[in-house]
Amino acid sequence: MTATTDGSTGAVPPRAASASENTTTADNEEDAAPEAAATAQDTARRAVQRATDFLLARQDEAGWWKGDLETNVTMDAEDLLLRQFLGILDTDTAKAAGLFIRGEQREDGTWATFYGGPGELSTTIEAYVALRLAGDAPDEPHMARASAWIRGQGGVAASRVFTRIWLALFGWWKWDDLPDLPPELIYFPKWFPLNIYDFGCWARQTIVPLTIVSAKQPVRPAPFPLAELHAHPRDPNPHQPLAPVASWDGVFQRLDKALHAYHKVAPRRLRKAAMRSAAQWIIERQENDGCWGGIQPPAVYSIIALHLLGYDLKHPVLREGLASLDRYAVWREDGARMIEACQSPVWDTCLATIALADAGVPADHPQLVKAADWMLAEQVVRPGDWTVRRPDLVPGGWSFEFDNDNYPDIDDTAEVVLALRRVKHPQQDRVDRAIERAVRWNLGMQSRNGAWGAFDVDNTSAFPNRLPFCDFGEVIDPPSSDVTAHVVEMLAVEGKAHDPRTRRGIDWLLAEQEKDGSWFGRWGVNYVYGTGSVVPALVQAGLPGSHPAIRRAVAWLEQVQNDDGGWGEDLRSYRDVAEWSGRGESTASQTAWSLMALLAAGERESKAVERGVAWLAETQGEDGSWDEPYFTGTGFPWDFSINYHLYRQVFPLTALGRYVHGEPFSGKGS
């Protein structure tokens, strides 16, 4: 990308190679093809061996793999704010967090939400406040640049609701100037609009504790003023006219005004009962390791909510909750402390198992068997929130994290099954029983439209996203192409390609293909991920490589291949499809996704595959790893981006392994 004067990477996508640059004359191709193929094979084999050794050496003794899950500095800032609110912030923690946050600041004084991205207002505000807590003075140059930029963007008043909630906890913002979220929401029946189960599980777990915080409206003494972050210090929250009453925004803005009025007259007994019910809901969903849902945000707000209701920090619920938060901390060699928003051992382990098996590691290799044992022990066999929509379905999925029995996810379950099928286990009956249960659960989680979401069935209500409170990213969990593709691929491998439910999934995927031949990626960036997920699934389910949908996808991938032979896609494609779809600096994971699609489509001997394999081999480090600073994963498209540190390893190994050894399963569509 082109460097800009503010230190960011400019919004100028790399130029993809033209069709003429991707081809040579027929005579030259005929002369060079055998020698080039042999050379590519040898190069790929060497890369596979190095990558295999690297990955095997990083398995935990218990059988799992886990790479760091890097997001943005709001995780670190909010960790400090939580500790300040609870009165437990210590100097060492503040110093280590400050070191990390300071190191992520851009030259213009801002913080971004992904590598190479633009400065983001709410992230910059939270980072600035965290550095104040760490001892940085407002007149230091890096702080002055940040506050000036914040004021220029409209100040605190223009930030997201979550940021202003954190500031309200210390009196830096007025509770009356925040959207209201009543705890009585817990009593809304499951059929009623805006009941808690209309929200995606990640939003649900966050919103329920925040209803208590919203009702209590606590204010702790501020350790310092923050007037420098307001565009208009004398009027921090200038009046904004309401949207027209006939618009959805106008309707929900007026609903919020009604809720503020209700807050002042809410029956005391009803409100107390609602807060007790919300607290019970929270406590019932605490995991065995003390976390909530295996992710950081619900844990943070649950601890605050319960503390406000009188739970002291020595209470087992809060004590274990705080201990679980400590486990999200990654301490770096320089003393910096990075907070993970989540941890991904199940996801990383199934992807690592697939990669190693496809790279030629024997199916009965002890480390693969150990990985299978660990995954089998992690299967979720008790009910969770998903039973609200599927009360009679027998549990059998897998979650993403070490501990998250309440919210197994459909994507992990499909990929774990695909991983287990690659392992020759000494107790095959045990594996078969687990897989049978998982397949039944995944089939039962199919939405009405034939596709699959990540955690829930038919979680598609349009109302939650319209609430003034919900400006922090995606708050519902509709079906997506990437998850649906992984389920379809798994079902095909399990001999269910012709099952009517699988065919409905296939039909949905075909209808979702973009005009240019790509598919949207919900949980990975973006059209490259979607296409890299869907094409192998469709081929596995029996579509021939000559199918028009497959040919359109191949043509699109060839069109967006970069000059260097790799593929990349910037997160800006979620905002500007025309300019950024399939465009960005080449990355190891995105190049691998493209190769996996092309190989599945029968393009093994193509020039595009040859160049992609060469790029992966040329960019591999001497230790067998790849470097990938770019964020290729998502939590919420654009709003919350993820750099999975193991993606750079497992996906290139999978792609190269399939190039060398062929597709992992024969008998397509069986």
Could you report the per-residue pLDDT of 405-463, keeping only the tens digit for each? 999 999 999 999 999 999 999 999 999 999 999 999 999 999 999 999 999 999 999 88
CB 339 within 8 A of CB 329: yes
| R_g (Cα) of the chain, nearest Å | 25
Q: What is the CA angle 370-60-365, rounded to 5?
A: 30
User: What is the per-residue pLDDT across 583-592, written as a single tens digit (0 to 9) for each?
Assistant: 999 999 999 9
Using a 10 angstrom Cβ sphere, with 0-12 exposed, 13-18 middle and 19 or more buried, the burial of residue 125 is buried
pLDDT band at 17 (very low <50, low <70, confident <90, very high): very low
Which residue is catalytic, options 79, 411, 412, 564?
Answer: 411
Mean pLDDT is lowest, of 210-219, 226-235, 312-321, for: 226-235
State yes or no: is 235 an active-site residue. no
* CA 376 from centre of chain: 24
Structure tokens at 382: 């008790």
pLDDT of residue 464: 86
DSSP category for residue 409: B
pLDDT of residue 26: 43
pLDDT > 90: percent of the chain: 84
pLDDT of residue 14: 62
Mean pLDDT is lowest, of 92-96, 234-238, 294-298, 560-564, for: 234-238
Residues 411-424: b if buried by 16+ CB within 10 A, e if exposed: bbbbbbbbbbbbbe
Q: How far is CA 313 from CA 135, 304, 310, 318, 342, in A?
A: 25, 10, 9, 5, 23
DSSP 3-state assignment of 81? helix
Using a 10 angstrom Cβ sphere, with 0-12 exposed, 13-18 middle and 19 or more buried, the burial of residue 18 is exposed
CA atoms of 200 and 30, how far apart (whole Å):
54
CB 583 within 8 A of CB 16: yes
CA atoms within 13 A on the CB side of 576: 10
Place of tokens 């379950």: 413
CA atoms of 453 and 9, how far apart (whole Å):
33
Q: What is the CA angle 243-245-249, rounded to 5?
A: 50
pLDDT of residue 38: 64
List all residues 6 or more positions away from 218 whose beta carbon is below 8 Å from its beta carbon. Answer: 169, 308
